[in-house]
């Protein structure tokens, strides 16, 4: 029985090229988060936000298409196949983007943490020695800046709102911050990317840049105590390994955060493997099935 007839993807990628791993991480983050954002369509707190989150979701998925387009040039595979034709353990998105939306406070917290991280990441990639990659950041950065403005506006609104609003966004930040560190998990083959200036700045250095921005924003709205509570990426999720087997706990652990002098710093290093190596939370299964269901049900379909 063929892979197509069982509804399972049959795309096989050779990820020995670290450039491909980088592009998949970028594209998968955007695709999965865009899908999660789309779940607010029709149920956001009010009509304006219904439209805003729907628009942001479309943008994120459009950005994923850009990254898959570059990956297509490396692999010869169709961008649709790259985005929708892989098995769950072949996706390289960070665990943060696959988590369920939760309440509005969590979704805003996640959007804020992700978009600040994406701003840092795109700013670095704009200086990439890989010309095609650097050029691709242009339009994406312009749109992502509006996403970040939206997230910061809501962070301010909830932080300075009624007690319940402040409580919920604080809880959302506390829950999402742990996973957000995983956005900076070192990639397979990252040393080569940095050596060749394809990735001009290591994820370790990008993590510090991101933390400086987040700390400044949280201090401004009086929520810096979220950082004081500490973070750890170790949890009890079951995650798929590269063979598709399930095991617990998730292997990825992250640096912890400490206040040193006048700044917050990550102390220690990442260990183990997480989303960048194809290890995901239980929540990813449902996201993957929704994302890829039509593609798997109708192989070769074109719209």
Instruction: Report the candidate in 256, 247, 232 with the shortest Cα–Cα distance to residue 281.
Output: 247
**CB-CB contact of 151 with 221 (8 Å):** no
pLDDT for the residue numbered 35: 96
The sign one gets for the Cα dihedral 68, 72, 74, 77 is positive
Confidence (pTM): 0.91
**CB-CB contact of 249 with 234 (8 Å):** yes
Q: How many CA atoms lie within 13 A of 194 on its CB side?
A: 12
What secondary structure letter does DSSP report for 257? Answer: E
Mutual angle of helices 18-38 and 104-125, in 10-degree steps: 150
Block mean pLDDT (10 aa), the chain, length 303: 44 86 98 93 80 90 97 94 94 97 95 98 98 96 93 96 96 96 97 98 98 97 88 51 46 90 92 94 94 88 64
Cis? peptide before 249, omega within 30° of 0 = yes
CATH among 2.40.240.10, 3.90.1010.10, 1.10.357.10, 1.20.1260.10 for 18-239+247-297: 1.20.1260.10
Lookup: tokens for 125? 């990639």
Instruction: Report the candidate in 96, 76, 73 with the shortest Cα–Cα distance to residue 25.
Output: 96
Domain residue ranges in the chain:
18-239+247-297
pLDDT for the residue numbered 238: 41
CB atoms within 10 A of CB 266: 19
pLDDT for the residue numbered 216: 97
Lookup: tokens for 137? 């950041």
pLDDT for the residue numbered 230: 61
From residue 192, alpha-carbon distances to 83, 121, 199 in Å are 25, 17, 9
Q: Where are the alpha helices (DSSP H) in 160-254?
A: 163-180, 190-195, 203-220, 225-228
Residue that has been written with the tokens 């998968």 in this structure: 28
**CB-CB contact of 148 with 111 (8 Å):** no
**CB-CB contact of 141 with 63 (8 Å):** no
């Amino acid at each position: 029985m063929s892979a197509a007839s069982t509804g399972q993807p049959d795309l096989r990628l050779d990820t020995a090229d670290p450039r491909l791993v980088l592009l998949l991480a970028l594209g998968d983050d955007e695709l999965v988060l865009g899908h999660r954002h789309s779940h607010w369509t029709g149920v956001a707190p009010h009509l304006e936000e219904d439209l805003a989150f729907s628009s942001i979701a479309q943008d994120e998925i459009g950005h994923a298409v850009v990254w898959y387009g570059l990956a297509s040039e490396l692999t010869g595979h169709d961008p649709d196949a790259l985005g929708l034709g892989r098995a769950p353990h072949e996706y390289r998105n960070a665990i943060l983007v696959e988590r369920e939306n939760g309440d509005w406070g969590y979704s805003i917290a996640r959007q804020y943490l992700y978009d600040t991280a994406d701003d840092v990441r795109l700013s670095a990639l704009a200086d990439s020695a890989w010309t095609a990659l650097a050029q691709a950041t242009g339009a994406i950065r312009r749109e992502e800046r509006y996403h970040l403005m939206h997230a910061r506006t809501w962070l301010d609104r909830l932080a300075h709102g009624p007690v319940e609003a402040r409580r919920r966004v604080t809880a959302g930040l506390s829950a999402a911050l742990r996973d957000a560190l995983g956005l900076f998990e070192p990639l397979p083959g990252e040393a080569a990317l940095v050596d060749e200036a394809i990735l001009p700045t290591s994820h370790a250095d990008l993590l510090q840049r991101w933390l400086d921005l987040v700390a400044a924003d949280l201090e401004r709205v009086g929520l810096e105590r979220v950082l004081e509570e500490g973070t750890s990426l170790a949890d009890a999720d079951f995650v798929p390994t590269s063979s598709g087997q399930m095991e617990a706990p998730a292997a990825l652990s992250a640096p912890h955060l400490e206040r040193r002098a006048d700044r917050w710093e990550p102390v220690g290093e990442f260990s183990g493997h997480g989303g960048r190596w194809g290890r995901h939370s239980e929540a990813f299964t449902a996201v993957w099935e929704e994302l890829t269901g039509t593609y798997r049900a109708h192989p070769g379909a074109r719209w």
